Structure 1
Amino acid sequence: MNRFRAFLAGMLGFLAIAAATYGAHRLSVSPNLPHAVETWKTAVLYHFVHVLALLSLSRFPKGFTVPTLCFLFGILLFSGSLYTWILTANAGWIRLTPFGGSLLGIGWLWLGIEALLRKPPAPAP
């Protein structure tokens, strides 16, 4: 088990719960952002899905570093930029969203390729 990945998944999972709770109970949106609630829900969904991906990667003591980093920075850029855009009503933040989405996609692609090419662990004696 990779304890750092499990820790990272735990912390990001807590933040996803906090974001979901905030969105459900406290989010007040500007009339200039008509789709803000749906956008917030999308950000939380992508955040959570990739936390679960990180948690599943924590089972592996080694390897999968690139997908881990892609998921981490993808969450920060994709979900983080959407959260910040809605909270600040500053549309400049959404310029980062496609980079985050691309990192999430690259993370999944790299995970699949690495899983295919990875040698299975040697059986225990």
Structure 2
Amino acid sequence: MERLFFLLSGAYGFLGVALGAFGAHGLKSRLGGLPDGAQRMEWWLTGSQYHLIHALALALAAHLAARTGSTAATVAGFCFAGGVLFFSGSLYVMTLTGTRALGAITPFGGLLLLAGWASVIVAALGLAKG
């Protein structure tokens, strides 16, 4: 799992920076004239912020998986990976399409991210005190 989570961390980090830059430079002019343009930019910024943070969280899960071999570390990695897809992904799609109904998916991604952090705590509890 270590290799998979490090690969996902790198890919998510790369995409997070690219999508953040696209939002800052490409979307601002496209959404500026829309009545809900400011709201949609906020969705994009929130999505890219959580995306980047959890790209690093995937690296943390990879490190814990290698160090502890715990199931909790593996669960954390998959929760972070899925959480970014559902949370940030739904915000990106909402921004691009204006389809607010997709906001129903966003909380599921948020729950996965929370479950990932809870799993990090469980994995950390398994580390030897030293």
- Whether TM exceeds 0.5 here: the answer is yes
Aligned match of 1:49: 53
Structure having the larger proportion of residues in helix: 2
Identity across matched positions, percent: 39
Taking the aligned partners of 1:2 and 1:87, their CA distance within structure 2 comes to 33
Taking the aligned partners of 1:112 and 1:84, their CA distance within structure 2 comes to 31
Amino acid at match of 1:55: A
Aligned match of 1:82: 91
Taking the aligned partners of 1:22 and 1:34, their CA distance within structure 2 comes to 15
Output one character per residue of 1:44-76: Cα deviation in whole Å (capped at 9) or x when no partner.
111111111111222232331111111011000
Taking the aligned partners of 1:119 and 1:88, their CA distance within structure 2 comes to 45
Call closer, same or farther: CA 1:119–1:55 in 2, change over 3 Å. closer
Q: Are residue 112 (structure 1) and residue 130 (structure 2) matched?
A: no
Aligned match of 2:62: 58
TM-score by length of 1: 0.87
What's the Cα RMSD here? 1.8
Across the two proteins, how many residue pairs are aligned to each other? Answer: 120
Output one character per residue of 1:14-34: Cα deviation in whole Å (capped at 9) or x when no partner.
110111011011112232344
Taking the aligned partners of 1:90 and 1:22, their CA distance within structure 2 comes to 20
TM-score by length of 2: 0.84
